[in-house]
Amino acid sequence: MSRIDQMFARLREQGECALIPYIPVGYPTVEGSESLIRTIAESGADLIELGVPYADPLADGPTIQEASLKAVSNGVNLKSCIAMVRTLRDKGLETPIVLMGYCNSFLAYGLDNLADDAKEAGIDGFIIPDLPSTMAKPYVEIFEARGLKNIFFLAPTTSEAREAAVVEQGQGFLYCISVTGVTGERKSLPAELRDFIHQARQVTTLPLAVGFGISNEEHVREVSEYADGAIVGSALINVIKQSEPHEIEAKAGEFIRTLKQATRKAATPI
Amino acid sequence: MEGFFGQYGGAYVAETLIRNLEELYGEYERIKDEEDFREEISQLLKNFVGRPTPISALHRITAELGGAKIYLKREDLTHTGAHKINNALAQAVLAKRMGKTRIVAETGAGQHGVAVATACSLLGMTCVVYMGAVDAERQAPNVQRMKLLGAELHLVHSGQKTLKDAISEAIRDWITNVEDTHYLLGSAVGPHPFPNMVRDFQSVIGEEAREQILEAEGRLPDYVIACVGGGSNSIGMFNAFLDDADVKLVGVQAAGEGLESGKHASPLLKGTHGIIQGSLTYMLQDEDGQILETHSIAPGLDYPGAGPQHSYLKDTGRVEYTSVNDREALMAFEELCRKEGILPALESSHAVAYALKLVSQLPKDALVLVNLSGRGDKDLSQAIAALEQLKNAEVLV
């Protein structure tokens, strides 16, 4: 059983929702990145979505655009992201890690090389926001041959016919996009989200993780009532951005601990 | 596979957008051959845009160069002054029939933005235009026109602040407002079905020109030349000639300060395969797949990717792609003003510049058709300043 499957199975037994923070590699600094990722993991992240910095992230709002650009200008590329995971694994980190990045970063690296190097480094899968299920086949074939998972998306706009096709290809978990729009903090979660997740639950046994707009512990608590994972990106980046350099790790760790606590009060998912 | 030209094209976009793209493709396929849709478009093109646009022979330049005969297809004479209106009107009509009430668009040179704002004004739709802050500065007259036409203009301050960044913001807007909004993409780029749809709506250029030159000369041209940024005017021109094997097709990209300087906008000459803004195509990128900055005096050509069909036509060899630098384009800009009484857009000046170079090498009876995709009023202040700079520099040398 893969790290991702084990993690969701364990949490399901415990009646907990997975906390899935997103952080770009090399943000806010290259030197502090490894230690910050480890802090995030040790503070309660159940799976880490490591961002591969891309300067033109079409599905991201201003917060992640800025962080991603900062990491690019810090000189971070896909190769350094893979090296980062290798280092973390060498030092004993067992938290599941998926790389979140845009198609073109992966294409430029070469999909076969990517799959080989990612597997060897201890990466568990990929989240590629500009790779819809209709385009994914060549990628999935290469990833699957190495036991790497490609995480598929469901959006509020996904039709029933497409939902069936996505579910059929799904592996690891499904990334459920909470709202139409790009990533970024929001005041409240949409009222339809609960129904959207319940509807998806009818057609799949895969864990369902919700992302986009989850900004605070109330949101995480709400999502934990009906979903299996809560993905938090922009809100974490904003915590980091608002911290003095010397207190970034402490503040990020505290934020993750608070969010993780909010996942524990969940009712047992169906 | 649907939506591909060989290996190029596709729809590499967020899941959230797939429904809209599928809906757009389905509705477009359903409506495009319907009699009353075709009739509405052709009435608008005739009575509002002023089509057909003529072809004009360049008598003085032809006499002076002593070479082949050059004809210009006069898209500069359309209402709003560029070919962009053909696609903007047709897509706006389609969107309205699909029940959309709000249009978002990107613009580089401002010509597409003006065309979309015009179409929305005519059809009573809400219009939101994204424009790079740098482009807005160098195309000030078009900024004023868009505002006057009632468009809500958003300046984009991310990235290089030019066309690519404007497209990204327009796509983000569309992801957010999927229900009531149509994204009216102005070039033959982006995810399926845009490259097909934009080509189809621009094909009127080549269809008219082919008929007109047959009537004027009794035969097809030896060369058809058009500038290629994203590639909408060129694909609209080339499409009618693709099956005419004896007609050589030439796409002219922007060489900026020179292909070897790295400061250019010629993905079809210097680019590699990659995914940019929803489609797989030739693009300018570094070894990590980051999109490279582009340089051209013509904002409408200042884009790091080519439409996927152009990538395909490059590989098959049906179209020859070449480039013209800023200096050559400026000289052609001035030449056409001085000798033929035509003020071309800086984008179109690239196609003209290549034609001027080419004809002196051709036999006298050769025939060259150039798409003059737009007029240059928008470029006046920038072009005049650049020409003066050029002349001062050459005096010093």
User: Looking at residue B393, what is its pLDDT?
Assistant: 86
User: Looking at residue A270, what is its pLDDT?
Assistant: 45
* Maximum C-alpha span of chain B: 62
B interface test, pick of A81, A157, A179 with most B CB neighbours within 10 Å: A157
Q: Residues near B156 by Cβ (< 8 Å), separated by ≥ 6?
A: B130, B131, B132, B133, B165, B166, B168, B169
A-chain residues within 8 Å CB-CB of B274? 104, 107-108
User: Looking at residue A268, what is its pLDDT?
Assistant: 47
Tokens read off for A22: 């997103």
Nearest CA in chain B to A107: B274
Is B188 in contact with B309 (CB distance < 8 Å)?
Answer: yes
Q: Where are the domains of chain A?
A: 3-261
Q: Residues near A139 by Cβ (< 8 Å), separated by ≥ 6?
A: A106, A111, A126, A128, A131, A150
Q: Exactly one of B69, B84, B100, B378 is catalytic; which is it?
A: B84
Is B324 in contact with B350 (CB distance < 8 Å)?
Answer: yes
Nearest to B96 by CA among B15, B190, B17, B27: B27
- Tokens 């990628």 belong to A139
Low-confidence stretches of chain A (pLDDT beneath 70)? 265-270
Helix (H, G, I), strand (E, B), or coil: what is residue B325?
A: strand
Report the gap between the CA of B111 and the closest CA in chain A (Å).
24
Of the CA atoms within 13 Å of residue A58, those in its CB half-sphere come to 30
Beta-strand ranges (E) seen in chain A are 18-24, 48-51, 97-100, 125-127, 149-154, 174-177, 208-211, 229-232
Would you give the end-to-end CA distance of chain B in angstroms? 56
Model confidence band, residue B66 (pLDDT cutoffs 50, 70, 90): confident
Would you give the end-to-end CA distance of chain A in angstroms? 22
Model confidence band, residue B1 (pLDDT cutoffs 50, 70, 90): low
Is B207 in contact with B128 (CB distance < 8 Å)?
Answer: no
Q: Name beta bridge partners: A208.
A: A174
Is A154 in contact with A179 (CB distance < 8 Å)?
Answer: no
Q: Cβ separation of B15 and A72 shorter than 8 Å?
A: no
What number is the average pLDDT over the span B381-393?
A: 93
Tokens read off for A190: 């949409």
Tell whether the model's pLDDT for residue B395 goes beyond 90: no
Q: Where are the domains of chain B?
A: 12-45+84-198, 52-81+203-396
Report the gap between the CA of A153 and the closest CA in chain B (Å).
6
Higher-pLDDT residue of B160 and A262 is: A262
Q: Cβ separation of B19 and A157 shorter than 8 Å?
A: yes
Q: Is B106 a catalytic residue?
A: yes
Q: Cβ separation of B178 and A129 shorter than 8 Å?
A: no
What number is the average pLDDT over the span B56-68?
A: 92
Whether B12-45+84-198 and B52-81+203-396 share one fold: the answer is yes
Return the CATH fold of B52-81+203-396.
Rossmann fold (3.40.50)
A-chain residues within 8 Å CB-CB of B276? 104
Residue A157 CB coordination number (10 Å): 20
Q: Out of A238-242, A263-267, B52-56, B215-219, pick the least confident.
A: A263-267
Is B108 in contact with B302 (CB distance < 8 Å)?
Answer: yes
Q: Is B364 a catalytic residue?
A: no
User: Looking at residue A103, what is its pLDDT?
Assistant: 98
Residue A92 CB coordination number (10 Å): 7
User: Looking at residue B185, what is its pLDDT?
Assistant: 97
Tell whether the model's pLDDT for residue B397 goes beyond 70: no
Return the CATH fold of B12-45+84-198.
Rossmann fold (3.40.50)
Q: Options 3.20.20.70, 3.40.50.2300, 3.90.1150.10, 3.40.30.10; which CATH number does A3-261 get?
A: 3.20.20.70
Q: Cβ separation of B172 and A72 shorter than 8 Å?
A: no
Tell whether the model's pLDDT for residue B196 goes beyond 80: yes
pLDDT in tens, B254-288: 999 999 999 999 999 999 999 999 999 999 999 99
Q: Cβ separation of A108 and B158 shorter than 8 Å?
A: no
Q: Which helix or strand (DSSP H or E) is residue B152 part of? A: strand B152-156
